[in-house]
Amino acid sequence: MLNKCPKCKSDNPGTATFCADCGTQLPSLEKIEVTETLETPKEELTTGSTFAGRYQIIEELGKGGMGKVYKVHDTKIKEKIALKLIRPEIAKDKKTLERFSNELKFARKIRHKNICQMFDLGEERGTHFITMEFVPGQDLKGLIRQTGQLAVGTTINIAKQICDGLLEAHKLGVVHRDLKPSNIMIDKEGNVRIMDFGIARSLSAKGITGAGVIIGTPEYMSPEQVEGKETDQRSDIYSLGVILYEMATGQTPFKGDTPFTIGVKHKSERPKDPKELNAQIPEDFSRVILRCMEKDKECRYQSAGELLAELEKIEKETSKWILTERKSETEELKWQNSIAVLPFVDLSPEKDQEYFCDGMAEELINALTKIEKLQVASRTSSFQFKEKGYDIHDVGRKLNVKTFLEGSIRKAGNRLRVTAQLVNVDDGYHLWSEKYDRKMEDIFAIQDEISIAIIDKLKLKLLKEEKATFIKRYTDDMEAYDLYLKGRYFWNRRYKGGLQKGLEYFNQTIKKDPSYAPAYAGIADSLSILGLFGWLPPKEAFPKAKATALKAIEIDDMLAEAYSSLGWINMLYDWNWTAAEKAFKRALEIDPNYAIGQLWYALYLLYMGRFEEATSTIMKALEIDSLSLLINVNFGCTLYFKRQYDEAIEQWLKTIEMDPNYLLSYWFLGAGYASKGMWKEVIYAFEKAVALSEESPFFIGFLGFAYATSGQKDKARKTLNQLEKLSKERYVSPYYRAMIYFGLGEKDRLFEYLEKAYEAREPILIPTIKAAPFFDSVRSDPEFKALLKKIGLE
């Protein structure tokens, strides 16, 4: 029997699937059936009408190869369900209806949270239909179109849920055979449901649909489906591989002008490595995708369970990478309004206003974060793009925002010219732009006008209580404000010189305006960090830090930063655990989106040995500020405390990839390698830390410990001499020498210097003494237990 092409009218063999002349998909004959777009049923269902005396039509949901789908109210069971009309051209074939009926018997057996429940096949006045569970949400195809490349974490999460559903179906002997993104629904909570198992067939029901029958969509069909051969669960694995490819890269692996050309590519062409299209994809994940798409089904994963295990392994191995991906695309559906404020560009003649440009961006970020329904990228994340050329789509994808604000400042004398533009990430068009030529004293008004314009353009409403905090100003003294911006500019650098310089400016600020609360919080924070790393004696740094934190709270008891600083001081210096936790919690009550507040509370929980609480809290910090080096490096610290050394090391290495000169990454990395006895790597990491810190005694002490423990005792003793010499010039904590004696195995000297560290109220004792792996080998020693008890940790 010949098969005539509906497009070019050429005659083709009856066994042909595609026209040999033009490549058009051919209509089905007796042995070949193809899912294709056909004419709509004669009966149109309108909103409000009732079909089959039972189903009240709510709305049309869409249409596919089989026919239109409607959301309906089933008046019999009093629930909303989905109803799919089968096109008459399909339904008129008795064999087709028999197949659907038989296959639905198997599909109805599948009861799983990741599979849409199929109900029944019915007929009303010659119109055949299938009823099924109604699943609200967005189909995966729409999500991919909306976001482009999905985050790796999101892709794996969705894929795991699909695998869960397929695993259950395959156990019951049911293969989907038409798995594609438009058949996968995702609700607003990110839960996945596989649709259309009604056209699946039973593996055990031989003869219902035999070899030579093609059902599927060309872009997602396995090679054996293209050839019309027998299919099994491995065909679904192939289709899932194509879906993974599309989620990770934003495009399908094979394209063509006709279904025929696409089918040929599935059979004979190797897909491009996904990493070539998205460099963010981990090597292992790229390998998994390509294995799913092997031409030979014997070379693919043989079951959904096998693939699921591989995905879980990758998820665990790349936990940090996934966690720092920002909020997933499925979660982004909750946030229709989101923005990143990029650093303003300094166009001043002298190019000396970088601090002012940074301050302008920070002030706008701080103001906008007070709007409940607006998601605002953190300062650390937004400032990653400072002084770099950037692509708007790259900004949107990395920061997971739909809009961004960019601008410039030109300052000359007392005059300011500020330009600002609000840009739509999707198309690059300006939603709003404005230029302000004002006097310096108008800067606060400019900030308010920009913020109000953003709120207006994003169609947000400002609640009464939000408005009160939104317009809050801490000073009207422009000179004090300028000094404060300089202080914060240096303070944000968080190295010794930057902290000291920031401290100078904060002190000058409060001389100009003694009621400037954030400047007091800046002083407290700077002093406590200088005291922690031994750049100032603890007994000099921490009492002053506490006094200024309390002063900030006295002026403004709604300043989250001040409470966080107070909690840090209560923990590291006062050793008052109850007061510390109370202060941290108060900070987060005031501002749950204060990332450093979440981080410091997580560290408190970690140092107290409350590992699971610490992990969940630091993950909140990562959600808020996913690109923060400080938060990322301390996420590795939570893994280290949980004795997950390999995962911790990987996390720190990835933090180093983010910034190869970030000091703390090397310090923690050395500690991780020490726990594995990798002393060559330990020494390299600590030597790097010493160099980056400009030979700080803090890091010299840890290097001396590494020398001692690795057997290089002469170098260790030289380090002791070096610390002794430095102590004549500046403060050197006795803790550092205790570490070296610990490495040398001189236990008496270890406890002698730990006692001196206790007397000095050395803050570094708290992160290491109770729960860290560092002292595991002496943790049962009576002297060690006695020290813990004196500190109040036992």
Per-residue pLDDT averaged across 610-624, rounded?
Answer: 88
Do residues 179 and 243 touch, judged by C-beta distance below 8 A? yes
Percent of the chain at pLDDT > 90 equals 40
Q: Is the predicted pLDDT of residue 724 greater than 60, yes or no?
A: yes
- Confidence at residue 319, expressed as pLDDT on a 0 to 100 scale: 54
- Confidence at residue 173, expressed as pLDDT on a 0 to 100 scale: 83
How far is residue 68's CA from residue 65's CA, in Å, rounded to a whole number? Answer: 9
Per-residue pLDDT averaged across 154-158, rounded?
Answer: 89
Q: Which class is 151-193+206-329 in CATH?
A: mainly alpha
Residue 95: CB atoms within 10 A of its CB come to 11
Q: Give the tokens for residue 167.
A: 């695993």
Do residues 707 and 716 touch, judged by C-beta distance below 8 A? yes
Q: Is the predicted pLDDT of residue 20 greater than 60, yes or no?
A: no
CA distances from 130 to 122, 127, 589 (A): 6, 10, 51
- Confidence at residue 322, expressed as pLDDT on a 0 to 100 scale: 44
Q: Give the tokens for residue 321.
A: 């990478």
Query: In this structure, are strands 127-133 and 79-85 parallel, antiparallel, or unpaired?
Result: antiparallel
Please provide the distance, in angstroms rounded to a whole number, between the alpha carbons at the two ends of the chain.
88
Question: Following CA atoms 210, 211, 214, 220 in sequence, which dihedral angle do they give, to the nearest 10 degrees?
Answer: 110
Closest CA to 492 of 640, 605, 596: 596
- Confidence at residue 158, expressed as pLDDT on a 0 to 100 scale: 92
- The topology (CATH level 3) of 335-473 is Rossmann fold (3.40.50)
For the packed helices 734-744 and 747-759, what is the interaxial angle rounded to 10 degrees? 160
SS3 686: helix
Do residues 392 and 404 touch, judged by C-beta distance below 8 A? yes
- Confidence at residue 44, expressed as pLDDT on a 0 to 100 scale: 64
Question: Following CA atoms 171, 176, 177, 180 in sequence, which dihedral angle do they give, to the nearest 10 degrees?
Answer: -130
How far is residue 527's CA from residue 648's CA, in Å, rounded to a whole number? Answer: 29
Query: Which superfamily does CATH assign the domain made up of 50-133 to?
Result: Phosphorylase Kinase; domain 1 (3.30.200.20)
Give domain limits for the chain: 50-133, 151-193+206-329, 335-473, 495-592, 704-794
Closest CA to 293 of 368, 236, 360: 236
pLDDT-derived band of residue 42, with 50, 70 and 90 as boundaries? very low
Do residues 556 and 472 touch, judged by C-beta distance below 8 A? no
64: Cβ contacts below 8 Å, ≥ 6 apart:
37, 182
603: Cβ contacts below 8 Å, ≥ 6 apart:
614, 634, 637, 767
Percent of the chain at pLDDT > 70 equals 86
Q: Give the tokens for residue 778.
A: 């002496």
Chain mean pLDDT for the chain:
83
- Confidence at residue 207, expressed as pLDDT on a 0 to 100 scale: 37
SS3 432: strand
How far is residue 409's CA from residue 412's CA, in Å, rounded to a whole number? Answer: 10
Per-residue pLDDT averaged across 71-95, rounded?
Answer: 83
Residue in this structure with the two tokens 């440009």, named with its chain if needed: 357
Same CATH topology for 50-133 and 151-193+206-329?
no
- Confidence at residue 21, expressed as pLDDT on a 0 to 100 scale: 52
Question: Poorest-confidence range of 394-398, 432-436, 756-760?
Answer: 394-398
- How do residues 475-533 score in pLDDT, each as one tens digit? 778 888 888 888 888 877 667 788 889 899 999 999 999 999 999 999 999 999 999 88
- How do residues 346-404 score in pLDDT, each as one tens digit? 888 878 888 888 888 888 888 788 776 788 888 877 887 776 666 777 777 777 788 88
Q: Is the predicted pLDDT of residue 60 greater than 70, yes or no?
A: yes
> Annotated active-site positions, please?
178
- How do residues 634-656 score in pLDDT, each as one tens digit? 999 999 999 999 999 999 998 99
Pick the CATH number of 495-592 from 3.30.70.1060, 3.10.20.30, 2.60.40.10, 1.25.40.10: 1.25.40.10
How far is residue 402's CA from residue 545's CA, in Å, rounded to a whole number? Answer: 40
